[in-house]
A and B are shown apart, each in its own frame.
Chain A
């Protein structure tokens, strides 16, 4: 279930990158000078950090590290 949710989140971000709804819109200007299309992609980029934070907390491949630690201890 967790893997399915992660897959859906990644697919959603891939789809959300194609923001055709902003295609011909310059306004509103955020903070008076940032066009909406640019502001959208800045927010989008920052939202990837949120996804990464969730992935680190719930999907980190810690078994890879543990296997190496075990092998190093046995050596």
Chain B
């Protein structure tokens, strides 16, 4: 009960922060103030909020769950690759996006693309692809909120009510506070998570009698020894994961967030501290996920291990539905919550659960980003701002936030989570393949709107293609040969237990490579923008 009370107190604080931010809003440059916090965020808020925006539910809960099943390789797959790619992206692309936004007044990447490549409807196509990839993310955020709140309260708050409460809180502070409120909330949430994540490691470590015995016990068992090495992932998949963090800077909420810094120098400390904070957050999450495999005396963990064991031994003889059910039961996304419930005192478990709620609620930035994109790239671009004025533009953005949140909640109640998990899985690949658009716009004078259009259409087709393929071909049981299409003895396309492989790589690799090739080839055979436009960028 105490953790639930603390979580609800936390939600009240978050709501208050958003409404407090509303009082700080200014009437001049209303749209810029609401959607970009007046391009005036200070160093601490900019850094912590950016970090928090990147640390989604998938990053923290997903990393523990992935480490629970796959071992320490999770850190190399997701954390150290991001720690290199994301600061590099911010250094080279984020700073340029900030400068162009400041000079030309851009508020979204599509505005920049339209200006840079002298295009109109092609910008709308890019908007549509970006928006389609972002929506499942928002829905899964609401689902995560409902699941987490239900888990924290021991089922006293049912899933439908938990989702409603989380959706309502997010909608309220985004509605009132805009970018300022969202950034302040994210700063508060990230600070909470940074502090109490390390506390969780110490408390759980003490509770289980130290990590040394757990690690030695994992090593002693043939079934778990590989969790302490990298061998549970193929080297080609390991290389593929290097492509996933390319998505970060291409996500609209991150591109837009780059425009909120007061000074460009704020990127300096951000890129410097980002890898250090990655270690502070991911190391405990991954380590606890791995260690959970030897904490079988906790009932929640025991059930997961049993389901995994049954899947491994009886998998090939079970039906697809039974295998899916066992996969769901063995999934470790809530291992952190289960461990906290078992080892932390109630008040600390409450604060830590609030920290986890914070990460689950990262969909606030995406809701605001979609609202910004809709009002700037569609409403304002097609004459709404000129006709109805800036004040109505902001109100339109606010109404859009309400409608979007309600739609996300209704879909979250009715649709199975697996569909959106799949969509989110490939949203990252999609945004990775959209990232070359930013590079072409900022660094290649010869790039054209047709090259950009070709890449955007390719991304949409590839994401749909992979999703349809995975829906049509069920995942095989672990250890069983996957379905594959081979040419001359080489596996071109394979269905694996975890997804899809193309020549042994994750789909993100060919998606990015083809995207780059399309931009280059199509740009070279089409007419480049006028010299006057190019001169404003180079």
Chain A positions within 8 Å of B, measured between CB atoms, are 10, 13-14, 17-20, 22-27, 29, 32-35, 37-38, 41-42, 44-46, 48-49, 52-53, 55-56, 60-61, 64-65, 67-68, 71
Partner of B211, one of A33, A41, A60, A61: A33
User: Is there contact, CB below 8 Å, between A38 and B287?
Assistant: yes
User: Which 4 interchain pairs have the tightest Cβ spacing?
Assistant: A26-B228, A64-B99, A38-B72, A33-B211
Identify the closest chain A residue to B276 (Cβ).
Answer: A49
Does B278 interact with chain A (Cβ within 8 Å)?
yes
> Could you say which residues of chain A place their CB within 8 Å of the CB of B219?
26-27
User: Is there contact, CB below 8 Å, between B75 and A38?
Assistant: yes
Residue in B211, B242, B275 with the greatest tally of chain A CB atoms within 10 Å = B275
User: Is there contact, CB below 8 Å, between B265 and A65?
Assistant: yes
User: Is there contact, CB below 8 Å, between B83 and A64?
Assistant: no
Query: Contacting chain A: which of B266-274, B320-328, B392-400, B510-518?
Result: B266-274
Does B79 interact with chain A (Cβ within 8 Å)?
yes
User: Is there contact, CB below 8 Å, between A42 and B229?
Assistant: no
User: Is there contact, CB below 8 Å, between A37 and B83?
Assistant: no
Instruction: Give Cα A46 to B268, complex, Å.
Output: 16
Identify the closest chain A residue to B264 (Cβ).
Answer: A65
Given contacts A45-B275, A56-B271, contact A32 B73 (CB under 8 A): no
> Could you say which residues of chain B place their CB within 8 Å of the CB of A71?
103
Instruction: Give Cα A38 to B73, complex, Å.
Output: 7
Nearest Cβ in chain A — how far from B91, in angstroms? 6
Does B330 interact with chain A (Cβ within 8 Å)?
no
User: Is there contact, CB below 8 Å, between A56 and B272?
Assistant: yes
Query: Contacting chain A: which of B16-24, B230-238, B431-439?
Result: B230-238
> Could you say which residues of chain A place their CB within 8 Å of the CB of B268?
56, 60
For window 209-256 of B, CB contacts with A under 8 Å fall at: 210-212, 214-215, 219, 225, 228-231, 235, 238-239, 242
> Could you say which residues of chain A place their CB within 8 Å of the CB of B279?
42, 45-46
User: Is there contact, CB below 8 Å, between A49 and B96?
Assistant: no
Instruction: Give Cα A35 to B215, complex, Å.
Output: 8
User: Is there contact, CB below 8 Å, between B230 and A37?
Assistant: yes
1/0 per residue B88-102: CB within 8 Å of A? 100100011011001
Instruction: Give Cα A34 to B271, complex, Å.
Output: 26
Known: A18-B239, A64-B96. 9 other contacts (CB 8 A): A26-B229, A33-B215, A35-B229, A38-B283, A38-B287, A41-B75, A44-B83, A64-B98, A65-B265
Nearest Cβ in chain A — how far from B96, in angstroms? 7
> Could you say which residues of chain B place their CB within 8 Å of the CB of A49?
272-276
